[in-house]
């Protein structure tokens, strides 16, 4: 059974590797506004398969989001609790002959010349058609193989609310790493399908991954979600906002939630007020009016 009613949903899916900074909070606010303004459910998912995960940060992240006025429907989904589901979905792909073992290191992949038909920068297909004897020889070296999706396309086009039609590379991407960890491009699709997420709002640094994920969703017999890849927040150096840029998390910035939401709203052209709540922004929210360029945050007193 699906984890939520069949009404469609948006979601926010942080990785609990530390406190959320302004860029994360801005994306969360936008994901909430996109979902609530379109009468969708809004789900919360913790992408906690990364080996850098700090268990305590998940609760801090949820606390900060709730303090800002961002609510969600149903229980929080933790990817670390869904290993059996991912294994079962991988098994379906294995049974259908849609995977293959790959023994390449990253260095070998980067050094290899791509096949003539493959897009630049894509997996060159080194292990795609190995014989069973060749696979046995590679296993004998002790190197555990990754599992890659055996694709039949080189590109896929998605529709994005801010970027329009975007065509990107679809190669034989990894769905399970050699250490057994399931890959982001695989688990996020499995989870979105299981929870009937049909709207994905996230940072535009992930736009290039959307074609691979949309292809996999289609391969599994589902319509890809509607995408909205939103601009990032940059630090004073012009690079993506990070902790090195000073006071960038909710706990570090000397302001109440309503002032912090107002700062984020001003950065998006949604309001000029000094204090506001997410609920206040819903009535006038129009995705077509959102900026397409990143916002540079300069730490200091909020004005």
d(CA 278, CA 40): 16
Tell me: is residue 102 an annotated ligand-binding position.
yes
Cα separation, 188 vs 177, whole angstroms: 15
Residue 137 labeled ligand binder: no
240 is in an annotated binding site: no
Q: Is 275 annotated as a binding residue?
A: no
Task: Return d(Cα 66, Cα 64) in angstroms, integer.
Answer: 5
The SS3 call for residue 10 is strand
> Is 202 known to sit in a ligand binding site?
yes
CA distance 204 to 187: 19
Burial (Cβ within 10 Å: 0-12, 13-18, ≥19) of residue 73: middle
127 assigned to a ligand binding site: yes
* Section 38-59 average pLDDT: 93
| Tens-place pLDDT, residues 218-235 | 999 899 999 999 999 999
pLDDT band at 107 (very low <50, low <70, confident <90, very high): confident
Average pLDDT of the residues in 275-301: 93
Task: Say if residue 118's pLDDT is above 90.
Answer: no
Annotated binding residue at 196?
no
Alpha-carbon span 24 to 273, nearest angstrom = 21
pLDDT of residue 113: 52
Does position 4 have pLDDT exceeding 50, yes or no?
no
When comparing pLDDT for 299 and 281, which is higher? 281
What pLDDT sits at residue 12? 98
Which phi and psi angles does 199 have, rounded to 5°? -145, 120
86 is in an annotated binding site: no
Average pLDDT of every residue of the chain? 92
Average confidence (pLDDT) over 260-269: 96
* Angle at 189 (CA atoms; ends 130, 218), nearest 5 degrees: 75
For residues 116 and 124, what is the distance between their CA atoms, to the nearest angstrom?
9
Predicted pLDDT of residue 51:
82
Annotated ligand binding at 243? The verdict is yes
Q: Which residues are CB-contacts of 178 (< 8 A; sequence separation ≥ 6)?
A: 143, 144, 145, 146
pLDDT at residue 64, as a whole number = 97
pLDDT at 121: 62
Name the pLDDT band for 303 (thresholds 50, 70, 90): low
Is there a binding annotation on residue 47? yes
Phi and psi torsions of 166, nearest 5°: -125, 125
Per-residue pLDDT tens over the stretch 138-178:
999 998 999 999 999 999 999 999 999 999 999 999 999 99
Give the global pTM.
Answer: 0.92
| 156 annotated ligand binder | no
Domains, the chain, in order of start with CATH, read 9-80+231-296 (3.40.50.620), 84-176 (3.90.800.10)
Which residues fall within 8 angstroms of residue 163, CB to CB, at 6 or more apart? 204, 207, 229
């Amino acid at each position: 059974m699906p984890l939520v009613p069949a009404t469609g949903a948006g979601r926010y899916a942080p990785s609990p590797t530390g406190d959320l900074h302004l860029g994360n909070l801005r994306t969360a606010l936008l994901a909430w506004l996109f979902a609530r303004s379109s009468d969708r459910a809004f789900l919360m998912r913790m992408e906690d398969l990364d080996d850098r995960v700090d268990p305590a940060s998940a609760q801090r992240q949820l606390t900060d989001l709730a303090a800002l006025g961002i609510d969600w429907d149903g229980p929080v989904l933790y990817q670390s609790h869904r290993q059996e589901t991912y294994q079962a979905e991988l098994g379906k792909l294995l049974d259908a002959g849609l995977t293959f073992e790959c023994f390449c290191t990253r260095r070998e992949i980067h050094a290899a010349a791509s096949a003539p038909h493959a897009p630049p920068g894509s997996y060159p297909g080194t292990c795609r058609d190995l014989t069973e004897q060749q696979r046995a020889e590679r296993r004998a070296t002790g190197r555990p193989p990754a599992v890659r999706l055996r694709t039949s396309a080189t590109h896929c086009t998605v529709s994005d609310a801010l970027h329009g039609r975007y065509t990107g590379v679809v190669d034989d991407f990894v769905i399970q790493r050699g250490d057994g960890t399931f890959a982001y491009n695989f688990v996020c699709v499995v989870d979105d399908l299981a929870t009937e997420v049909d709207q994905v709002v996230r940072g535009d640094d992930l736009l290039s991954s959307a074609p691979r994920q949309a292809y996999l969703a289609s391969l599994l017999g589902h319509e890809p979600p509607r995408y909205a890849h939103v601009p990032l927040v940059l630090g004073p150096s012009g690079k993506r906002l990070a902790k090195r840029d000073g006071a960038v998390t909710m706990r570090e910035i000397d302001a109440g939630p309503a002032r912090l939401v107002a700062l984020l709203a001003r950065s998006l052209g949604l309001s000029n007020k000094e204090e506001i709540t997410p609920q206040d922004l819903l009535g006038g929210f129009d995705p077509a009016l959102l900026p397409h360029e990143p916002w540079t945050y300069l730490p200091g007193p909020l004005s």
